[in-house]
Structure 1
Amino acid sequence: MSDDAQSTHTFQVDLRGLVDLLSHHLYSSPRVYLRELLQNAVDAITARQALDAGAPARITVRTADGRLTVTDTGVGLTEADVHRFLATIGRSSKRGADGGLDGAELASARGDFIGQFGIGLLACFVVADEITVTTKSAADPAAPAVEWRGGSDGRYAIRPLPAGAVTEPGTTVTLVPRPDAAEWTRPEQVVALARHYGALLRHEVTVEDAGGRVTRINDTPPPWQRRYGSPLARKEALVEHCRRTFDFTPLDTIDLDLPLVGLRGVAYVLPTSVHPSRQAGHRVHLKGMLLSDQAHELLPDWAFFVRCVVDADSLRPTASREALYEDETLAAIRDALGARIRDWLTGLSAGDPALLHQFIATHHLAVKALARYDDELLRLLLPWLPFETTDGQVTLDEFARAHPVILVTQSVEEFRQVAPIASAAGLGVVNGGYAYDRDLVHRLPEIRPGSSVTDLDPTTVTAHLDTVDPAAELAAAAFLHTAREVIAQFDCDVVLRSFHPVSAPSLLLDSREARHERTRTELATEADGLWADILGSLRSAAPRAQLVLNHLNPLVRRAASVTEPGLAVTAVEALYGQALLLTRRPLRPTESALLNRAFIGLLDHAMHETGSDPRGETS
């Protein structure tokens, strides 16, 4: 087809389908209809104040006779504006285009508008089938007021109103909710929704019910921008605001102020610990209108110990206006807010040690996550941080004073294996199996010269175990032979040593290399063909695990004297099973079977002994 024969067509829009799309895929709930109405009203007032800075700024919501109306003292529309904006989906009256209401003067103030997408009025069709808009223009006072009626079927009607029907500039939107959406326009629900979305709006917002009772919605300015008689009074006001907003009493408050992007607010420090993976629910307002109460992307991931309320001018919302758009501005704001929280931490170390101790006791995991990547905070806070050690839960500074050489395990399991023995031997061991701990402990010499930190080797522990008298080991040779045969299936050796505490009958020393080799062996056993051959060829000479029996323990000495083969096997299995349980690691099926077998064997032996008299006759 030639260019001359080419025809041009206009897209046809199915309004019902579009409304269904909005209600089920763009907006999270029908309740957003009131937010959109409030937002349009705020933008209309902003547009009027761009023409007349002294213009009134009021928004009134009324619920009566099954109807809901929202009236604003904004810029209003002429009949031409109504045709151009209300009847054209997606076109916003905030856009600078071709003069009139959306001309250059108002376009220059576009940054002051909340809405940017031109689909706000459609949200009303989520709860109503018909919308009536009555409006009078402030930009063209001579123009008559206009009534626009639109239906969810896509039809609309416009008529000019008689002179005097509307005397003041502004707009009133009226809707009658459908029966299935009536709950969203009940008076008490409207008040709750208005407060939820508009508590920080900068223009007066009121809700009036059928009885004429008026409820003031917003109390501006927000508490962090008000003037108080003293710092203590301000702190008490912010604490009360946190209780009302988040339902907890904060450990402390952190002022957030980024003038370049028009952001102000406050961060509340949680009084209890939370898991780092739990996403924080920050409340973000855009020019006073609530954008999201679950804006987890506002702060860096490490700042999971605070909840924020902020009001900003330059944040960019998504199309649904229920989340933040991820762009360079948001990334810069996130970094800047993270720096504010970091500065607060730095200030605590110098100015309020008692609060710092309280904070670290609650949120030490967050501080460890931050200190790992922040050299200054590492220097300031690492000595204050608690670690699990053979001396208990103590700060690293306190532990380093008692132990010039610090040994660090690579896993929680290794620490639990060696902690009782290492403590009795006077070794200083830190559990490095938790997130960040091993890396942080290894950096201690950077801020505490003279400290020595090294990874724990199981041979370091065995070097502190005393050998047994040769005569005693010879007397236990038969039992040790049985033990080695029984435990060999677990790639484990058995040795007899003397060590403290005496209450510990056995110790399982299982290095990471030994565990890797055992896992490889298990996979090779379960695999077939080529894969089994490959795993077999990878067999290493890694050291095997060791079951160390404590000759000082009365139970071990008694077990070593057992001559009955069956009871000796059961005793070995019980000692190995107890050592396994002390490591607190998950048991493999074969190990669980061994524990069950040992328990049943000991029970059978006890019952047999109880049921026999000294002459060997059953009683």
Structure 2
Amino acid sequence: MTTVQERQPEQHAFEADVSRLLHMMVHSVYSDKDVFLRELISNAADACEKLRYESISRPQLSTDGAQPEIRVTLNDEASTLVVEDNGIGMSRDEMIDALGTIARSGTRAFMERLEAAKAGEKAELIGQFGVGFYSSFMVADKVDVISRRAGEEQAWKWSSDGKGSYEIVAVDLSEAPVTGTRVVLHLMDDAKKYTSKWTVEKIIRDQSGHVPVPIRLAEKEGAEASQVTDGAALWTKPKSEISKQDYDDFYRGVSGQYDEPLTNIHFRAEGRHEYTALAFIPGSQPFDLFDADRHGRMKLYVKRVFITDEAELLPRYLRFVRGIVDTSDLPLNISREMIQDSPILAAIRKGVTSRVLTALEKMGEGDAETFGKFWDLFGAIVKEGIYDDFERRSQLLKLSRFRSTASNEATRSLADYLRDMKEGQSAIYYITGLSLDQLNASPQLEGFRAKGIEVLLLTDSVDSFWTTNARDFEGKPFKSITQGLSDLDDIAGNDEGGGDKHEASPEVAAFIDFARGFLGQEVADVRVSGRLTESAVCLVASEHGPDRQLEKILQGAGRLQTASKPVLEVNAQSSLVKAIAAMKDQAFREDAAWLLLDEARILDGDRPTNPRAFAERQARLFALAMAQNT
């Protein structure tokens, strides 16, 4: 009878060009070599789960009563890394099937699909060819797998350098785990960092911190192993068993921030697609909130194994949300590093987005103070969705809060605005600018303020854009008070004097006609204003096209070469305008027209186009005034 010691290794030649395959894996499939450890731990966790499942019908398989465990052992002197589990293990035939499949009939199809995936075609490859295990050859020039299947009295060793062949040989039971599998990686010279306890522990925590099997790490062979993870995932527990401190600690770990979250959204979706989500609204702005790439930071897990934090699990206007989504339904590509553009992912994205927005709505209705903090932190980001997300635009408008001429330091919703609209008012009025101080000083506000008509004061850059897309709210259109003709005379107000038709005297009308012709190269029109009550002049945009602030933003970004000519509106009741109109001196009238235009530009936050000419005209008027007083 042949003993284990006498048995010769079985040589198996790879039937395909495995060197080419592994080269493709290293250079095309995985962009981060660290994933090899995630793959080996995932395989080990699966093996433990299979043993638990088979033990239900065959209790004798787990007679030793040992709890499932994964052990990682480092050896700096020997340059090895070992991943061992006490799971189901593998027989000889299972080793060939699990570790040699890619070298058999499936190889050609695998390589064809891999190349197709590189070319952009969709491919569902994980779990079909055991490719995850082969990521070990990115860091190891030799891999040994020693395994004993539960319930069997024989152990086997599989070895390969991943180049042309592999061998299988029976080994003595003393050299194998009691039950389970031991994977020994003989590390390459440029992979010695994987014998560092700090490096390996960080990789385990980041990528496999929530697999359902505890993971222990030993710094060297024979050393006592310390527990790195406990095999528990917070999001799998009932909410009733999770304290606020537990949630806060998890948030700090997943977000890398040290504040307390404003709230969390924890739910499990069941039905056609099953997944669990645990999302947090931060209590402070993340440092990368205004990153030009605007990526979200929700982490994707599949069966509690970390996959990526770059999946688009939420729209970009919710990129401040931190947390995780865990699913077993999502198809992955070969490396698990890029999620396929699948309908499943779209469904998860839609479901998580709806839950987050619903939670924010409830916060706005039930906890005004917390919602106020949220809006101060992230309101400008949420308003990007009004511009981008047509499907949820109405919901986002209801969620939004604004400062206005009626809100003082507080914010108001659009529902509040509609409730307080004046008789005859048919639009939601707004003005955009750089700051509240600038907007409150705007001459365009005067007529609205005199009649007690509320105007939204919008100071975020995105406000100039979403107001062009969101045409109305509950049937009431948005209208800039710095654009087009004023309709104040049609609205009843607190100050009936503000409802005058602003009739111009013959002298003022004549001066306006003169200014219209004289300033024709600078303005589109000069007309009597229906919105001014105190200031002499102001600038407004024409009825069609962008308003004044949007034009400035587009010009500053190089998206608009030349701005359209503004309209100069004149307060026909202004004592200054009446005095100017009474002057008949041609040179004086020309200087006065230019100075009124420059005054309007200054009030609009701009500079005179020709500061020297502005100063000279002002000096001539001062000289004329002094001459008349002598």
Q: What TM-score results when the alignment is normalised by the length of structure 1?
A: 0.72
Q: Are positions 1:87 and 2:122 aligned together?
A: no
CA offset digits 1:30-87 (Å, max 9, x no partner): 1111111112212222333343356342211111122211111233333343344423
Partner of residue 306, structure 2? 290
Over aligned residues, Cα RMSD in angstroms? 4.4
* Conserved? CA contact 1:200–1:289, under 8 Å: yes
Cα distance in 2 between the residues matched to 1:567 and 1:581: 21
| Aligned-residue offset at 1:196 | 1.0
Q: Are positions 1:60 and 2:91 aligned together?
A: no
Partner of residue 137, structure 2? 125
1:218-617 matched pairs, under 5 angstroms: 218-226=229-237, 234-246=243-255, 247=257, 248-260=259-271, 261-272=273-284, 278-296=294-312, 298-299=313-314, 303-304=318-319, 306-345=321-360, 347-348=362-363, 351-360=366-375, 362-364=377-379, 366=382, 369=386, 373=391, 382=398, 385-387=400-402, 389-391=404-406, 394-404=412-422, 405-408=425-428, 412=432, 418-430=444-456, 434=464, 442-444=472-474, 458-461=485-488, 467=502, 470=505, 472-473=507-508, 477=510, 480=512, 483-490=515-522, 492-495=524-527, 500-502=532-534, 504-513=535-544, 546-550=567-571, 569-580=590-601, 582-583=603-604, 595-597=608-610, 599-604=611-616
Comparing 564-573 with 121-130, greater Cα deviation is found at 564-573
* CA spacing shift, 1:436–1:573, aligned 2, 3 Å: same
Cα distance in 1 between the residues matched to 2:596 and 2:577: 8
Look up the SS of the partner of 1:241 in the other structure. helix
Tell which has more relative contact order, 1 or 2 (C-alpha 8 A, sep 6+): 2
Partner of residue 159, structure 1? 169
Give the aligned residue type for 2:596. Answer: L
CA offset digits 1:547-593 (Å, max 9, x no partner): 12335657656765777766754553343244346556xx9xxxx9x
Cα distance in 1 between the residues matched to 2:172 and 2:401: 77
Q: For 1:198, which of 202, 205, 208 is the aligned residue?
A: 208
Cα distance in 1 between the residues matched to 2:393 and 2:526: 46
Look up the SS of the partner of 1:46 in the other structure. helix
| Identity value in percent | 22
| Aligned-residue offset at 1:508 | 2.0
Partner of residue 84, structure 2? 71
Partner of residue 110, structure 2? none
* CA spacing shift, 1:151–1:568, aligned 2, 3 Å: farther
Cα distance in 1 between the residues matched to 2:546 and 2:298: 44
Q: What TM-score results when the alignment is normalised by the length of structure 2?
A: 0.71
| Aligned-residue offset at 1:123 | 0.9
Give the aligned residue type for 1:173. Answer: V
| Aligned-residue offset at 1:23 | 2.5
Partner of residue 39, structure 2? 36
Cα distance in 2 between the residues matched to 1:576 and 1:269: 48
Cα distance in 2 between the residues matched to 1:114 and 1:514: 53
* Conserved? CA contact 2:539–2:568, under 8 Å: yes
| Aligned-residue offset at 1:434 | 4.8
Give the aligned residue type for 1:214. Answer: A
Comparing 397-406 with 203-212, greater Cα deviation is found at 397-406
* CA spacing shift, 1:70–1:419, aligned 2, 3 Å: same
Cα distance in 2 between the residues matched to 1:122 and 1:329: 28
* Conserved? CA contact 1:91–1:119, under 8 Å: no
* Conserved? CA contact 2:277–2:325, under 8 Å: yes
* CA spacing shift, 1:602–1:580, aligned 2, 3 Å: closer
Which consecutive unaligned segments of at least 5 residues does structure 1 have?
A: 1-9, 94-112, 446-451, 517-542
CA offset digits 1:374-422 (Å, max 9, x no partner): 69958xx83x742354545533344334433253359858x97833443
* CA spacing shift, 1:60–1:313, aligned 2, 3 Å: same
Partner of residue 102, structure 1? none
1:97-108 matched pairs, under 5 angstroms: none
| Aligned-residue offset at 1:488 | 0.9
* Conserved? CA contact 1:41–1:71, under 8 Å: yes
Cα distance in 1 between the residues matched to 2:42 and 2:464: 48
Give the aligned residue type for 1:493. Answer: D
